[in-house]
Structures are given as C-alpha cells and as structure tokens.
Structure 1
Amino acid sequence: MKLGYHSITWGGVIGEPTGVTSVKDLFYRANGDLERALRDIAAAGYEGVELFDGNAADFADRPEALRELLSETGLTLVSVYTGANFIYADILPDELWRVNRAAELAATFGAEKLVVGGGARRAAGTSDDDYDRLGKALDTVVDIAERHGLVASYHPHLSTIVESPDELDTIMARSRIGFCPDTAHLAAGGGDPGELIRRYPDRVRHVHLKDYRPDPFAFLPLGQGTLDFADIVAAVREAGYDGWLLVELDSYDGDPAEAARISKAYLDSLLG
C-alpha cells in the first residue's frame, strides 16, 4: 500500500461562495497555499495527494501548471473529492454536472479515484425516501466515474444522513458505489472503523485515515487520538485492499507540515 495525504490541512476547507446562488459552482476548496501543501507533503515522504474539486478546477485553464508541480514534487494525484446534497430533485442535475466536472478534472490530471460525500439532512427530518434518492444518485456517480476511467467511492461524513453504522448499512444496501472508510468520521458517528471495514470488505475502494478524540472533540494526526490503527490496518489488509492509504486531517493547530510528518512517522512504524 502506498501512502498519500490530502491538501485539506493547509488552510482547511471552504465551499466556493458562488455556490450560494449557483449550485453547479459549489466546489469544495482547501483554503491555503496549494504549492506549499504539495511541497510539504512530498517532503514528509508521501507519494500521493488528494485534492478537492475546487482546487483541481483552479488549474482547468492551465493544466500544465499542476502537472509541473506534481512532477517537481514527485507526487501522484491519487483522487479528487467532491460532494453534494443528492436528495433534492430540482438541483440534482446541476450537482451531477459538477460531479462530472470533478471526474473530468481527475482524469485530466491522471487520478485513479473519485471520492464523494453528501446526502443532506433536511430541516424537517430525514425520510426513508431520502436514502433511495441518495442511493440512486450515487449509482449515477459510479456511472460518471466509470466513463472517465475512475473508481468511485462514498465517504460517510458527520452532518450528512450517513453518520452512524445503521445509516451506513442503509446506503450500502441501496447503492453499488464503493466504500471509502474515513476512520475518524466512522468513530465519531458511533461506529468501530475496523468492524465496519470488515462488514464491507468487497466494497472498500479507498481509505481515509485520521485520528479522533471524542472529548474534547478533535480530529488529530495519527497516533494522537483514541483509534486503534493496528486493528484498522489489519481490517484493510483482510479486505484484500492494497491501494492508497490517504491521511486526511481536516485541520491542525500547529504547522500542517508537522502534522503530515507525525502521521507519516506513525504509519511507517505501524506498517513496519
């Protein structure tokens, strides 16, 4: 398994503000210096990187600039991450247009994978039909990804309708999309990451690693929280997954490069 890192830690994540009035433009974006992020990730010893769709879109009109940066740092663009509400019929076509745009960009820059999160929680509460809508939309995401030569996976996430183990079971039964376990989000949603990976071994297509502390709540570099990564890595291996392991730390109080080094040293020790 190769090790990669998400650029999110450099500046944290924002949503493109034009998306407030134009859903098709509601990209995710890491709000920091992408060149610095890639150079820090490479210096920490990682081989790959994951980007948000908005950061990839910044290079749509100058693709050689990103290709040169990846070449200089020796990094592979592994995956592009996007997300959507997926349950509102009127805006779904524009959301899927944006997913298709993310897939186009991922393929342009040589990525292997498209990762999506989402499934909105309504103010009035979640209905069973919302899972049907989400499942159907995620199957369309699979079709979009396959047209671009990519593998699609779904990332359960806090604040969506797929937080808890029961909610994960519900959507896994209603879509054929791959599973991207995010270790901290699964734990924060009340699950055991290793157990959930073992529950869906044939669906694991991508892996996000981050540590977690429940009280006070925090996402942390690997080895600094409460998660059992020896068991998590064992579960990943038992699933027969031998692809990329992506560290995806949402934020860090100190230098993001330091966080990347902490997690890399931990993984090197764990993987032996």
Structure 2
Amino acid sequence: MKLGYQTNTWGGVVGHPAGVTSVKDLYYLANGSTEQALTDISAVGYKGFELFDGNLMQYIDRKNRFQDLLTTYSLEFIAVYSGANFIFAEILEEELWKIEKVAAFASEMGAQHLVVGGGAIRANGVLETDYNALADGLNKVVAIAEKYGLIPSYHPHLGTIVQSPEQLDKLMPLTSINLCPDTAHIEAGGGNPAEIIKKYADRIKYVHLKDYENGEFLPLGKGKQNYHEIMQVLKKANYQGWVTVELDSFEDPKEGAQISKDYLKSNFELFDL
C-alpha cells in the first residue's frame, strides 16, 4: 500500500463564498498554501497527496506551475475531492457541470481518483426519495469519472444523509459508485470502520484514515481507533491501493502529518514508506 496525505490540514476546511450565489462555482477549499502543504508532505515522506477541488482549480490557469510542484516534491497526485447536494433536481445539472470541470482538469494533471461527498439534509428532514436522487447523481459522477479515466468513490460524511451504517446500506445497492471509507467519519456516524471495510471490500478502491475520540478528529494513534483490526481487514482483502491520511485541522500541520506517519511506520509493515 502507498501512503498519501490530504492538504486540507493547511488552512482547514472553509468552503467557497461563491456558493452563496452560484452553485456551479461552489468548491471545497482549504484556506492555506497548497505549496507549503506539498513541501511539508514531501518532507515528512508521504508518496502522494489529495486536495480539494477548490485548491486544484486555483491552478487552472497555472497548469505548468502545478506540474512543476509534482516534479519538485516527487509526489503523485492521488485524488481530488469534490461534492454536491445531489438531491435537488433543479440544480443537479449545475453541480455535475462543476464536477466534470474538476474531473477533466484533475485527469489532465495526472490524478487517479475522483472522490465525492454529499447528499444534503433538508431543512425539514430526510425524504426516502433523497437516497434515490443521491444514487442517480452518483451514477452520473461514475460516468463523468470514467470519461476522464478516473476511479470514482463516494465518501460518507457527517452532515449528509449518509452518516450512519444503516444509511450507507440504504444507498450502496442503489448506485454503482465505489466506497471511500473514512474511518473517523464512519465511527462518528455510529459505525465500526473495520466492519464497514469488510462488508464493502469489493467496492473499495481508495481509503481515508483519520483517528477519532470524543467528537474530535486526531492524528493517527492519538484517538481510539483500532487500526490493527482495520489493517488486518485491508490485508485480508488484498487491498493494494492508496491510503490517504486526513486531518481537518492541527495547530502545526507538518507535525500532525509526522505523528501519523511515525505511528504507521512503528506499527505496520504494509506501507511503502
């Protein structure tokens, strides 16, 4: 398994103000320096990185600069993370237009994976039909990803209609998209990460690791997640893909990345470190 890191620790998750007035321009965004993130990720010894669609699109008119960063830091561009509401028919075309724009550029820059989150919770609660709408939207994402040679995966997330194991089980039979398990979000939603990975092993092409305890996302080894069980399940499933460590925020992002790397290096021999 190869080990990557998400750049969102540098600046945290802030979103994009254009979303207030223009759905097609609404991106995830880490409000920090992508170049500093890649400097630190490379220095710590990770092999690749994932970044938000908003941070990627900052390079749409500076393609050579982005490619130079990959060469300078000897990093692979693993994945771009995007998302949408997916359940509102009137704006779905705009959301998919944005995702396709992101997918096309990510593919051009050498990305392997397109990861999406979403499935909005309505002000008046969740409708059962929302799962069908989400699944239909995700199937369209699959078609977009395949058009550009990317591997599509859905990332269950707190704050969406797919938080709990029961909600995930409701969605997965309705769509063909792969599953990107985020161990912390799964546990925060009431699930057992190892059991979820075991259940959907044949649909897992990409994995997010993040530790968790008492409502807080933490560097690996600093929470209560049972990574020995998780790694055993991945090994038994003969998983050989990328594993990306993610940490939404940390006072010193480079230190957070180092803590997680040291933990994995000390405890597991599954990674190409």
Please indicate the TM-score interval, normalised by the length of the shorter structure.
over 0.9
Which runs of 5 or more structure 2 residues have no equivalent in the other structure? none
Q: Partner of 2:187 in structure 1?
A: 187
Partners of 2:94 and 2:239 lie apart in 1 by 33
Q: Is the 8 A contact 1:197 1:239 kept in 2?
A: no
Secondary structure at the residue paired with 2:153? strand
Tell me how many residue pairs correspond in the alignment: 269
**Alpha-carbon distance between aligned partners in 1 of 2:75 and 2:81, rounded to the nearest angstrom:** 17
SS at match of 2:70: helix
Quote the residue 1:148 is aligned against: 148
TM-fit CA distance, 1:241: 1.7
Of residues 204, 221, 224, the one that matches 1:223 is: 221
Partner of 2:90: 90
1:172 & 1:233 partners in 2: Cα distance?
23
Query: Do 1:204 and 1:239's aligned partners in 2 also have CA atoms closer than 8 Å?
Result: no
Aligned pair partner of 1:258 in 207, 230, 255: 255
Q: Match of 2:248, as an amino acid? A: D
User: Does the 8 A contact of 1:201 with 1:240 survive in 2?
Assistant: no
- Give the AA of the match of 2:263: Y
Question: Which residue matches 2:111?
Answer: 111
* 1:270 paired to 2:257: no
**For residues 133 and 204 of structure 2, what CA distance do their matches in structure 1 show?**
22
Cα deviation code 1:190-211 (max 9, x no counterpart): 0000000001110101100000
Deviation at 1:240, TM superposition (A): 2.5
Q: List per-residue Cα deviations over 1:130-181 (Å, max 9, x = no partner).
A: 0000001101100000000000000000000000000010111110100000
Q: CA RMSD in A?
A: 0.7
Superposed displacement of residue 270, structure 1: 2.3
How does 1:31-180 map onto structure 2 within 5 Å? 31-180=31-180
For each residue in 1:9-44, what CA deviation from the matched residue of structure 2 results, as whole angstroms up to 9, or x when unmatched? 001012111111000000111110111100000001
TM-score scaled by length of structure 2: 0.97
Residue 220 of structure 1 and its aligned partner are, at CA, apart by 0.2
Q: Tell me the SS of whatever aligns to 1:90.
A: helix
Q: 2:174 aligns to what SS in structure 1? A: coil
SS in structure 1 at match of 2:191: coil
Instruction: For 1:240, give the aligned amino acid.
Output: N
For residues 24 and 146 of structure 1, what CA distance do their matches in structure 2 show? 21
Select which of 233, 236, 241 maps to 2:234.
Answer: 236
- For the 8 Å contact 1:80–1:111, the answer to whether it is kept is yes
Which position in structure 2 is the counterpart of 1:30? 30
* Superimposed CA distance per residue, residues 39-59 of structure 1 (whole angstroms, 9 cap, x where no aligned partner): 000001000000111111011
Query: Secondary structure of 2:266's match?
Result: helix
Share of identical aligned residues, percent?
54
Q: Distance in 1 between matches of 2:29 and 2:236?
A: 34
